[in-house]
Amino acid sequence: MANPSAFHELVSLALRRVVRDWHAGVPCPSFGALRRPQVRSKSCPAGFDPNDPYTHYHSALARRTAFVFTIAMQLGQYVSIEQPGSSRLFLHCYRVMVMLGCVMSHFCFCHYGSAFKKPSKWLHNKP
C-alpha cells in the first residue's frame, strides 16, 4: 500500500471485480496499545501529532486500505480487516465502512486448549 503503483493496481482490481474476497491485516505498530510512547489513543485515532512521519505513514496505510475496501464493498465484494483486540485502528474511514454494512466480530486466537488467548477483532461484511 505504501507504493503508489501497487495501490493503484489494487484499486484497479477492485474496480474490475477481479477479487471477490479481500482480507487485510494493517500493520499495527502505531495502532497497538503496547507501543511506548503512544502516538494515538481511542479518542484520537488519527494520532496526537498526525504530521509526525511515523504516525502519518501508518495512518496513510490504514486509509489506503479502507479506500480500496470501500470500493470493493460498493461493488458487492467481501472484505475483512484484522486487528489486535486493543487496536486503535478504526479511523473515520472505517466508521464509514460500518455505515455501509460492516460489522465487528471479536474472538481469541489459540482459544482451544491453550493458555494464550490473544484477543482479535475483525471488521467485515461477510455473512
Residue 2, all three cell numbers:
505504501
Instruction: Report the pLDDT value the prediction gives residue 20, as an integer from 0 to 100.
Output: 95
- Written as nine digits, the cell of 119 is 484477543
Burial of residue 66, with CB atoms counted within 10 A of its CB: 0-12 exposed, 13-18 middle, 19 or more buried: buried
Residue-level pLDDT at 5: 94
pTM summary value: 0.84
Which residues make beta-bridge pairs with 126?
none
pLDDT at residue 62 in the model: 87
User: Which portions of the chain are predicted below pLDDT 50?
Assistant: none
Residue 57 burial (C-beta neighbours within 10 Å; 0-12, 13-18, 19+): middle
Q: What is the pLDDT of residue 112?
A: 65
- pLDDT at 67 (0 to 100): 93
- Which pLDDT value is given to residue 23? 94
pLDDT of residue 111: 61
Q: Is 120:65 a contact under the CB 8 Å cutoff?
A: no
Looking at the chain, list the stretches that DSSP marks H as alpha helix, in order from N- to C-terminal side.
4-15, 53-74, 92-99
